Amino acid sequence: MKKLLIVDSEPATKSSLKEVLEYESYHVDTEDNYQAAFEKICKNDYFAVLSEIKFPKTEGISLLQKVREQSFEVPFIMMIRELDLDTVVRAMKCGASHVVQKPINLNTLLSSLREIGSIKSEPHKEESNKKRIVLEDFYTTPIIGNSKAMQNVFKMIEKVAPTNERVLIVGPNGTGKELIARRIHECSKRRNKAFIAVNCAAIPAELIESQLFGHEKGSFTSAVKMHKGDFEQANGGTLFLDEIGDMSLSAQSKILRVLQEKQITRVGGESAIPIDVRVIAATNKDLHREIHEGRFREDLYHRLSVIPIKMPSLSERREDIPLLIEHFMAKMEANNEDRKITIGQDAIDALQELPWTGNVRELENSIERLWVLCNDVITKDDVEEYVKC
């Protein structure tokens, strides 16, 4: 029977986790004392340690550091109540294998323990799994990737998220630009405020002002009541302007004024309304070319691109494809619990070689198609028959 140690200062947490994990056939010890926990780890061969990150008088990270100094490689799952990116990053750098947020989601915890089991059986997978789990499970928005290109993106997120600077995310369609914007918001001081996403390409030119800035009742024929625009709804939070390169020049000038003056006026209104909004924009277009050809304002470009982030295409990060496949397969299984499908290595290899002009979005759609159309095991022949890039 696999032995676990739970180190937590909250009796209710220890009790509930112990009950659940013992039902899952683990032998569970509990501790609420830093030194006593360290001594138990030294004397026992634990499968994993579940430790609170912040105790009333010390830190679980200190326990992790002390264990690592003694060369004990027992995996640590760190538990944290309040989202704190700096603490999470520090825990990972000290050697934590997973970080989960309280109240503990049982499925996430059991998934973490399964991952630890697979790492122990295949040690060469340890590093990649360690990074993936933190990025996937700790935040609402999953972002999968261990490639150098994606690690560069993660580093940019870590640096820019705590600030209020505007960000411009560029890259092909289907690469996950909105996911990056949401992650920046989740890691920022604005995370408890609204995140409003706007597809600029989908808003007709004659409605853009009302959509973004709102309108007063009676300001035009169909304005039967006052409407708060996207800027006002995002006040205190983050406004994500997707496909900014498709916005008309007239609308661009209005956005520029809002960024300069930090206030908006509703259509039909007379008074200016102060706003505190972090703007993140994204586009799949080459804005330098758009500026050169007169379709995008250079002054707006410089206002938006204080921090530029480039999203790589899937062909630039092919080593991430197996991880993405695993993630999408797990997602399909979670949504279809009555069906179990696996994928063969030959199929994964075949998928890894395809061009993926539609990037991650196309890969996800293809996995969904294979899941529906294939039998118990997805094979290379299935990929060749059902996936058309």
**pLDDT tens, position by position, 255-301:** 999 999 999 999 999 899 999 999 999 999 999 999 999 999 999 99
Could you tell me if residue 144 is inside a domain?
no
- At 266 the three-state DSSP class reads coil
CA distances from 216 to 45, 156, 208, 211, 350 (A): 68, 40, 15, 12, 56
Residue 59 DSSP symbol: B
Could you tell me if residue 291 is inside a domain?
yes
- Which residue has 């520029």 as its token pair? 256
Does the pLDDT value for residue 160 go beyond 60?
Answer: yes
Q: Verify that 284 and 158 share a domain, yes or no.
A: yes
Higher-confidence residue: 60 or 365?
A: 365
Q: Verify that 41 and 172 share a domain, yes or no.
A: no
Report helix angle 321-335 to 345-353, nearest 10. 120
- For residue range 33-52, what is the model confidence (pLDDT) as tens digits? 888 999 999 999 999 999 98
Does the pLDDT value for residue 358 go beyond 50?
Answer: yes
- Mean per-residue pLDDT for 115-143? 55
Q: Verify that 158 and 305 share a domain, yes or no.
A: yes
- Measure the CA–CA gap between 353 and 315, rounded to whole angstroms: 9
177: CATH: 3.40.50.300
* β-strands 273-274, 263-264 pairing: antiparallel
Q: Verify that 159 and 299 share a domain, yes or no.
A: yes
Q: Verify that 306 and 324 share a domain, yes or no.
A: no
Per the structure, the complete domain to which residue 167 belongs is given by 149-310
Higher-confidence residue: 23 or 176?
A: 176
Q: What is the pTM of this model?
A: 0.68
Q: Verify that 240 and 288 share a domain, yes or no.
A: yes
Average pLDDT, the chain: 88
Residues 6+ away with beta carbon under 8 Å from 14: 6, 8, 30, 32
Q: Verify that 89 and 123 share a domain, yes or no.
A: yes
Q: Verify that 155 and 98 share a domain, yes or no.
A: no
Give percent of the chain above pLDDT 70: 91
Could you tell me if residue 143 is inside a domain?
no
Q: Verify that 319 and 302 share a domain, yes or no.
A: no
Structure tokens at 261: 């003056």
- Candidates 342, 311, 308; CA nearest to 326 is 342
Domain edge (last residue) among 293, 310, 327: 310
Is the CB of residue 17 less than 8 Å from the CB of residue 104? yes
Q: Verify that 20 and 106 share a domain, yes or no.
A: yes
Domain edge (last residue) among 79, 106, 138: 138
Q: Verify that 257 and 342 share a domain, yes or no.
A: no
Q: Verify that 181 and 235 share a domain, yes or no.
A: yes
Could you tell me if residue 27 is inside a domain?
yes
| Residues 44, 74, 93: CA angle, nearest 5 degrees | 145
- Candidates 4, 3, 24; CA nearest to 14 is 4
What's the number of domains the chain is made of?
A: 3
Domain edge (last residue) among 267, 288, 310: 310
CA atoms within a 13 Å half-sphere pointing along the CA-CB vector of 196: 22
- Candidates 264, 211, 216; CA nearest to 241 is 211
- Mean per-residue pLDDT for 132-151? 66
- Given pLDDT bands bounded at 50, 70 and 90, which one contains residue 363? very high
Could you tell me if residue 226 is inside a domain?
yes
> Residue 58: what pLDDT?
57
- For residue range 204-260, what is the model confidence (pLDDT) as tens digits? 877 888 999 999 999 887 788 999 999 999 999 999 999 999 999 999 999 999 999
For residue 273, what is the enclosing H or E element? Answer: strand 273-274
Could you tell me if residue 92 is inside a domain?
yes
Check residue 9 and give left, alpha or beta (phi > 0: left; psi -120 to 50: alpha).
Answer: alpha
Three-class HEC string of 61-99: HHHHHHHHHCCCCCCEEEEECCCCHHHHHHHHHCCCCEE
